[in-house]
Structure 1
Amino acid sequence: MAGGHMKYRHLSRSSSHRQALLRNLVTSLFKHESISTTWHKAKEAQRLAEKLVTLGKKNTEATRRRATQIFFEPNELVPKLFGPIRERYANRPGGYTRVLRIEPMKEDQAESAILELVDGPKDMRFAMTAKTLAHYGSRKFFAPGIARSVKQVTQFRENGIQELQSLISRMRVVDRLDKDRILAGPRKVYPEEKMKRDMHYFEEVDEGVRPNKLAPGRPRRRPRAMLTGREQKGKQDVVVEGRKEGSPSQKRQETA
């Protein structure tokens, strides 16, 4: 409708291309349970992923056929959707996926994000909460924000408190072993030095000095226009004599 509000993100693609993109993202999400993509693609794929989990919770013949139409790998993912994933979210009223912003992954600085299934083995917020509690040590009281995060990640997770405590203990052991580890520096988004080498830029030299000097031992050839008159004449004489001596027509005349 002209002048109406956009109901969804077009993602600069045609309708068929957009649907194929979202189906591909959702297939990867349910296969790996966590994917990294741009922020806008993640928000659009999240809508389709939420609908798929709702279809899995209904568990009817019609919903199975609909899920088969969406997945690119239905033989592998339809049993997973109507099996472990449906049991995982049986008591959860909604919010089966989560989008977390991360630093840009591409050199064009596009907004990036992680799209994941909550309460799964790759739940990022669950791991971040456990890491925060591992650094706190054995304290009896925590800040209200940490207590709220603990409730969010364990409320609908089966044996959530026990899994959180075991993960905290493992992280404390790892921190104790890797206490003196030196982390790598931040990754350069724009490797300027490599770009200069690939683009063959001129080297930075002082004023009055020729850049890109030739390697020693290699003779420098001057263009024909830069040769003097005597050099050009001598070169022509050598070429003409060579042609007269080795020309095929001269040899045929001599043999005849």
Structure 2
Amino acid sequence: MNRTLLLIITTIAIIACGCTRQQPSDPRLQRLTLSVDTGPQAAIDSLAAIDPATLGDYDRHYYNFLTVKARDKAYIVHTSDSLILDVINHFGRSPKMTEALYYAGRVYSDLGDYPTALRYFHDALDRISDDPEEDELRGRVLSQTGRMLSNCGLHRQSLPYLKECLELSISRNDTVNTTYDYQLLGSIYLDLQEYDTATIYLDKAYSLAKHLSDSDLAFMEGFLAIASYRTARPRAQPDRTDAFQLRTPPAVTAIS
């Protein structure tokens, strides 16, 4: 094999390895990958102590990815798309690309560019596999897509995304997100003026809500009061004693 051909093959192999890497080589970034979900503000502080100019090429883009993710997790409003565009333009076939597309949607949501945000959310959904390990990310993308469609006044179009998100939360026995998914669906049916269906979802949310704060409970009771007023009948208090006993999906698909 001549030297030119060998050089070409080696270069292609190096590029391919770089495009498919999932973890950075810098141990600091490896540690932050594990902690950013549970301690985003601490991750932001740690990232600030790292000079990205000292990092290798992939690690520098990964640093930007973690920065965007940590800020989003810490509820810091995104004001620029420069970091996430750098990530997307350089992650290639990295397994982290799907999550990067999700955060691109979050960035453009904050920037008020809803069509672009929805495009990135849909791109993320197209890439997510059926692996159960992807269910948490799929749920986040579905929830954000449904919320954005509803916020744009496309309430009916948001329902399939939010119902699939609810079913995922139930299948994962995620009581917290199941509660909020029921509440969100109930509020959307209020907007659609389908008050009986809204009451069904809101009652299910309230029955699971003993873990919520008093303010969240009061907010939920406000939705139920609206539904009760619109249907012109008093509402019986649902039983919340079995809030953490949910194991199988209620007949979600039977509610249209």
TM-score range, shorter chain: under 0.3
If asked which structure has higher relative contact order (CA below 8 Å, sep 6+), I would say 1
Name the structure where helix makes up a greater proportion of residues. 2
Q: TM-score, normalised by structure 1?
A: 0.23
Between structure 1 and structure 2, the one with the greater Rg is 1
Provide the TM-score with structure 2 as the length reference. 0.23
Q: Relative to total residues, which structure has the larger strand share, 1 or 2? A: 1
